[in-house]
Amino acid sequence: MAPSTPDWLREIDHTGDVGLRITADTLPQLFERAATGMFSVLTDLDAVRPTDATAVPVEGRDREALMVRWLSELNYHHTVHDRLFYAFSVDDIAPTADGLRLSATATGEALDPARHTVHTEIKAITFHGMEIRETPDGWTVQIVFDM
């Protein structure tokens, strides 16, 4: 991770294999920052340019499932369509008949091996120890990736 790691993002040790602890002022910001954190594990974000935007709608039966689906969807675009995302904007998190729906936009560019390094492969975003909590200061979540 870059030396300029922001104070809302902490990498935590876990044998299975990388974990992040994220804090944010609002729930949409928590989702945005979690995505930024995941892409900072995958690549050096400083080298990614925001050239185009992808709409990313996902659904989940609760907040935690929504987080897993959101990050899994972005990881899918990354691994299968060679996308690197740099900035994220969550427009809405709204209830549905059987859970929650998130509408968001991810901005980035196509992977260019000449300019980008992909450090690792994330097999899965896990539910391990995941709990999205509202604290007096805002929101917090811990995410463990299966590498």
Partner 1 sequence: MPSYTFEKLDDYRWQIPKTGGMRVPARLYATEPMLEEIRSDDAPQQAINVAHMPGIVGASLAMPDIHWGYGFPIGGVAAFDPDDGVISPGGVGYDINCGVRLMASKLQKDDLDRQDQERLVDALFHRVPTGVGSSGALRVDASTLPHVLRKGAPWAVQQGYGSDADLNVIEEGGQVDGADPDAVSGRARERGLDQIGTLGSGNHFLEVGYVADIYDERAARVMGLDEGTVTAIIHSGSRGFGYQVCDDALQDMDRAMNKYNIELPDRQLACTPIDSPEGQQYIRGMRCAINYAFANRQVMAHNTRLAFENALDLTPREHGLRTVYEVAHNIAKFEQHRVDGRPQEVCVHRKGATRALPAGHPLVPGRYQKVGQPVLIPGDMGRYSYVLVGTDRAMEETFGSTCHGAGRKMSRRQARKTAGRRNVTAELANEGIIVRGESGRTVREEIPEAYKDVADVVEAVEGAGISKRVARLRPLGVIKG
Residues engaged in binding partner 1 (CB under 8 A): 11, 13-18, 61, 64-65, 69, 72, 76, 79-80, 82, 117-121, 123-124, 126-128, 146-147
DSSP 8-state code for residue 43: B
Distances (CA, A) of 55 to 84, 102, 116, 138: 14, 11, 23, 26
Q: Determine the Cα–Cα distance for residues 15 and 57; give it in Å rounded to an integer.
A: 31
- For the CB of residue 42, give the shortest distance to partner 1 in the complex, in Å: 9
Cβ-based nearer residue to partner 1, 34 or 125: 125
- Cβ closest to partner 1, residue 49 vs residue 119: 119
Report the C-alpha gap between 52 and 73 in whole angstroms: 17
Q: Cβ 107 to partner 1, closest distance in Å? A: 21
Query: Which residue, 55 or 80, is less far from partner 1 as judged by CB?
Result: 80
Q: How far is the CB of 131 from partner 1 (least distance, A)?
A: 11
CA angle 64, 65, 71 (to 5 degrees): 90
Q: How far is the CB of 118 from partner 1 (least distance, A)?
A: 5
Choose among 13, 17, 11, 3: nearest CA to 121: 17
Nearer to partner 1, 87 or 111 (CB): 111
